[in-house]
Structure 1
C-alpha cells in the first residue's frame, strides 16, 4: 500500500478534522475557550458560505447536539455552524452562568465569541462580518444579550427559552435593563440597528418549571426587578417580545405546543425561520 507523502497527509488531516464535523478547537485568543464546527463542502470548494453561531445551555453538552443537529441545514443552505464552548468554572470558582450575562470578572464573553468568529473566518477564507445566532436556555440568555450589544453583527437571531431576560428598559441597570450599558460595556444601545435584525423567539408551551430561573435575594445574579418579567420561561419571553417590539423590532414568536424545556424539539422551528431569512437575504 502506498503511503501518503507529507503534503498528502496534511490534506487528508485537513479533510478529516477541518471540514464536515470538525475537531474541537481551542480559541487562539483565549485557549480556555473552545469551539467545534460543521463546515459544509461548499467551503472546501472555495465558495462563499454563511455562518450560524449556536450557543449551548448550562450543561454545555448541547454544543455537540447543535453542531450535529444543524449540520443538514448547513449542508443544504451553504452555512457553517460554529458552536462555542464556555466551560463551567473557567475562573476556577465552579460558576456555571457567567457567560449568560456576557461579563464575568475580566471576561467579556461577547468579545470571546467575536474573536472565535474572526479566527474561523480567516481559517476558511470567509467574510463573516455578519452571522446568525441561535441559543437555547443559557444560550438564549447569551443570544438576546449579544443582539442588544452587537446588533450590527447579526443577520438574524433566534432566542430560545432563556431563564431570564434583559428588557430594553433605560431606567434599570444591567442585566435587568440598559441604563448603565455605556459604562458597563463601553457602547450605547443602538435601537435602529437592532430593529434591522430579524428576531425569532421560541419556547415550549409547557416549559413551566421555575426552580432554576427564580432569582432569590443573595443569589449571584439577584437584583431588583430580576423576576418581574414573569414567572415562567414563556411569560418572560413574551415580556422580551413586547420590549423588543416597542423598540421597532420585528419578532417571530413560536410557542411549541406540547413541549417542555426540550431544545431538540424546538430546533425544527429555528431551522424553518433561518431558512426563510437566508432566502430573503440571498434574493
Structure 2
C-alpha cells in the first residue's frame, strides 16, 4: 500500500475513531447507533476497560460521552454511549428501551451487539463492562443487571422513575415472576451478588409528575406505583429488594441535587474508579483473586 495512503488512513483513524468519535450506525440494526470516547493511546499498555453511559428520556447521549471523556482518558477506558431513538417503531413511544423490550425489539440484545461491534472495531475481547444510567437510563441499567449480571463488572443505577423488584410473585416489569417466559432468561442472583452496585439519586429529586403510572397509560400494571412515590423512595425500595437477596449496594443520596444526571457523574466516576482499581490489582495478582 502506498505510504501516502497509509498516512491518510492513520489520519482518518485519529479524527474519527479515537478521542471523541463520530457517530456509528449499528451493523446489526442501523436504526440504532453509538458514539465513543477512545483513549488516543489505545493499544499502548494493558487493554482498556469499557464503560457504558446510558441516556435518559432526553437522549443526551453525547453529553454523557463528553462528561466521561477525561475519566476514560486517565483511567484507560473506552466510553460507549448508544442513543435509543424516540418512536423507533413510528409510534412516538419515548419509553420502550426502559423496559428492555418493545414489540420485537430487545434493547439488551441491541446493546450487546454494539459491544461486540466495538470489540471487533478495536481488536478487543470485551466480555464484561461497567454500565451507568440515569433516569430512563437508570431504568435500563438495573433491568439489564437483572437479565445479564455475568456481563457487568459494575452497575451504577441513577434515579429511575420506576423499578423492578426481585419479587417472584409479580410479573415483569414490577417483578420477575415471568422473566423466563418473557426473555428466555433465568435470574441468576448469585451472579448479581458478584457485581458491585451503586444506587444514586438526588435528595431534592422529588417531582412525581413524570413517574406516576396512571391506569390506561402504556406501562401501567397492577403494583406499578407500589415501590414509592418519589425517585428516592423508588430507589430505596430497589436497594432493600437487592439487599434482601444478598446483593451489596452502595446507596448515595446526594444532598441538594434535583433530577440532573450531570450533577452525579463525579460520584459515579469515583465508584467506577474504586471498582477498577480492585479489578486491576486482582488481575495483576491472580492469587489474591483465588483467596477471595
Fold-level match, TM-score > 0.5? yes
Determine the structure 1 residue equivalent to 2:243: 245
Among 160, 163, 187, the residue aligned to 2:161: 163
Determine the structure 2 residue equivalent to 1:269: 267
State the shift of 1:127 in Å: 1.9
**1:219 paired to 2:217:** yes
Consecutive unaligned residues of structure 1, counting only runs of 5 or more, are: none
After superposition, the C-alpha distances for 1:193-233 in whole angstroms (9 at most, x for unaligned) are 00100000000000000000000000000000000000000
Consecutive unaligned residues of structure 2, counting only runs of 5 or more, are: 282-292
Secondary structure of 1:23 counterpart: strand
Secondary structure of 2:82 counterpart: strand
The number of residue pairs the alignment matches comes to 279
State the shift of 1:181 in Å: 0.2
2-structure distance, mates of 1:74, 1:160 = 20
- Tell me, yes or no, if the aligned pair for 2:14 and 2:40 is still in contact at 8 Å: no
- Tell me, yes or no, if the aligned pair for 1:181 and 1:189 is still in contact at 8 Å: yes
After superposition, the C-alpha distances for 1:118-138 in whole angstroms (9 at most, x for unaligned) are 000111111211000000000
State the shift of 1:46 in Å: 6.7
After superposition, the C-alpha distances for 1:23-61 in whole angstroms (9 at most, x for unaligned) are 000000000001000001232437400000100000102
Aligned Cα root-mean-square deviation (Å): 1.0
Determine the structure 2 residue equivalent to 1:132: 130
**1:150 paired to 2:148:** yes
TM-score in terms of structure 1 length: 0.97
TM-score in terms of structure 2 length: 0.94
Within 5 Å, which residues of 2 pair with 1:34-113?
A: 34-45=33-44, 47-61=46-60, 63-113=61-111
2-structure distance, mates of 1:49, 1:222 = 41
